[in-house]
Amino acid sequence: MNLQTLEVFCEVAREESFSRGGAACGITQSAASQLMAHLERKLGFRLIDRKRRPLRLTAEGEVYYRGCQEILRCHRTTLEKVQQGRKDLSGTVRVASIYSTGLHTLTRYREEFLERYPQASVRLEYLHPTKVYDAVLNDEADIGVISYPRPRGDLRVLRWVEEEMVLVSPPSHPLSRRRKIRVRELEGVLFVTFDRDLKIRQEIDRALRKLQVKVQLLSEFDNIETIKGALEISSAVSILPRPSVEREARRGTFFLARFEDLELRRPVGIIHRRRHGFTPTCERFLACLLEGADES
């Protein structure tokens, strides 16, 4: 077996699919399936339960997967250290991010980083918050970007940015032309917000309760993009992080208002494994993120 075989195995396991895992490595579904069958014969035990959909690892496969991730991480780090003295950064940074921050904030940082280091690459994957933690813990991502971050097991949290929360309303809403607003003016208004199990929803509810304001809940969703879609076709308002709606505000799709009597911010942090060193490329990308936050 060789490193390519291990990479294919890890991608198939991560994607839970021979076709998607193979595509990530530039090979066909058939080639990926045959390669895994050959690997299993060499090892003498099953790695993948092919009877389940999506594909699942066997108990032995789970153990082998974690070991392969460690082998590949060490190889990437060593290879980049060798190449570092010979040419510009050329490695890959694997980033797992919640959708809103990945789409509206990280994309800008990635573009700036790639302009500075054109031979490097940044693989950015959008995931549900709980999956971001899993991706970093399972070494499927070098760093994770998450709102309301908290240490978990082997994870360390780096403070990054705090996003101001603002009132977002469509142009037709009576509150839409206001630049500033008091929270009590939201009493009884139609309101679109996040699912109850998300930390951002809990913080919004806590703030409204503290000021004894009751809104009329219209709908709740698990991501900002769906909330924005609901606002466009309703007469409701929402409270969202400013960076996630600035583009629509410039276009006139939404109007934003600051709160006069409420200081509500969404903290966004970077998580990584405590005991894992960074590759030179990842180290430089992380430095760009932190430097950019200091300047903003």
What percent of the chain is predicted at pLDDT more than 90?
A: 57
Q: Model confidence over 62-96: pLDDT tens digits?
A: 999 989 888 888 887 777 677 655 456 778 899 99
> What's the CATH fold of domain 161-267?
D-Maltodextrin-Binding Protein; domain 2 (3.40.190)
DSSP string, the chain: --HHHHHHHHHHHHHTSHHHHHHHTT--HHHHHHHHHHHHHHHTS--EETTSSS-EE-HHHHHHHHHHHHHHHHHHHHHHHHHHTTSS---EEEEEE-HHHIIIIIHHHHHHHHHH-TT-EEEEEE--HHHHHHHHHTTS-SEEEEES----TTEEEEEEEEEEEEEEE-TTSTTTT-SEE-GGGGTT-EEEEE-TTSHHHHHHHHHHHHTT---EEEEEESSHHHHHHHHHTSS-BEEEEGGGTHHHHHHTS-EEEEESS---EEEEEEEEETT-PPPHHHHHHHHHHHHHHHH-
> What's the CATH fold of domain 1-86?
Arc Repressor Mutant, subunit A (1.10.10)
pLDDT value at residue 84: 59
Q: Model confidence over 182-234: pLDDT tens digits?
A: 999 999 999 999 999 999 999 999 999 999 999 999 999 988 999 999 999 99
Q: Model confidence over 109-140: pLDDT tens digits?
A: 999 999 988 888 999 999 888 899 999 988 88
- pTM for this one? 0.70
Q: Model confidence over 51-69: pLDDT tens digits?
A: 888 899 999 999 999 898 8
Domain positions in the chain: 1-86, 161-267
